Structure 1
Amino acid sequence: MKTFVKDIMVTEFDTIRSDETVEKAIQMILNGKIRETGDKTISLMVLDKVMMFVGIITMADILYHLRPAFLNYGISGEHVSWDEQFDIAMKNLKEKEVRQLMSINIVGASVDEHLMVILDRMVKNKYHRLPVLKGGRPIGIVYLSDIYFHFFS
């Protein structure tokens, strides 16, 4: 049985620069690859100008920032014109840069870590994916769904 990160990590993954627009990230996720497990990629690894890993932007990050800011203050929004608010929120979202929405301080994995160690880290912290890094650059990614597929298929 394959038991190390290097044995199951996905080496073909999408990246985006931190200074790209969120609109580009939206399109890349919409057209994401379907992996062997049948799962579709819903995240992009974010790189800086010298191709170093700086974060991840996910479908959830984008959807979170699509919501109008007033919802962050506990206002119900029951008496709001949602069509108008949606158009404004969408326009504002698409104009932002990836760096403004991406998740940072991401915990990575190394190729020689045992899969059970990675599984433990992911489950305890509710991570859905871990970038595999070497010298600060992404060389792969491990998805929780791929670990599940590997163990049970």
Structure 2
Amino acid sequence: MKRSRRSRAKQPDRVPLAFAAAVDSDWVADRIDTAANDPGPKRNGDTLNVLFVCSRNQWRSPTGEALFRKHPGLNVRSAGTSAQARRRVAANDLIWADLILVMETKHRERLRAEFPRAMVGKTISVLDIPDDYRYMDPELCDLLERAVTQVLSQVMQRA
């Protein structure tokens, strides 16, 4: 059965999935190459993009995101390195971030191992906050506020 022009025009354009994936990976690779030449954190306009990272994105990094969400001059996100994370870190998160704040050294090493190209030229700071706290635990909030404020102060001095 032959279709009329009219019926063909109504059908949406279909792009093969493999092609769509290739386009996305090319875009990501281009952004990664751009990030590789980046000398360090910079203000994106009037804001700094900060990514908080822990293992499961359950307690520490979401607490950091919540504490600094309304901080002037910051855009914040959080993610986890574990396959069981509520929100798993992706290459796009690393490309987006001007500053990456990890809770432990193992998180930095995992990011470097899993996303070597996306991590080139990125500023990353280890906060040394153990997985001993629940979400918004007052002691965790205090540790995060002190550690992040110190890192942000150093970053702003370099900018």
State the structure with bigger RCO (CA 8 A, min sep 6), 1 or 2: 1
**Length-normalised TM-score, structure 1:** 0.26
Q: TM-score, normalization: structure 2?
A: 0.26
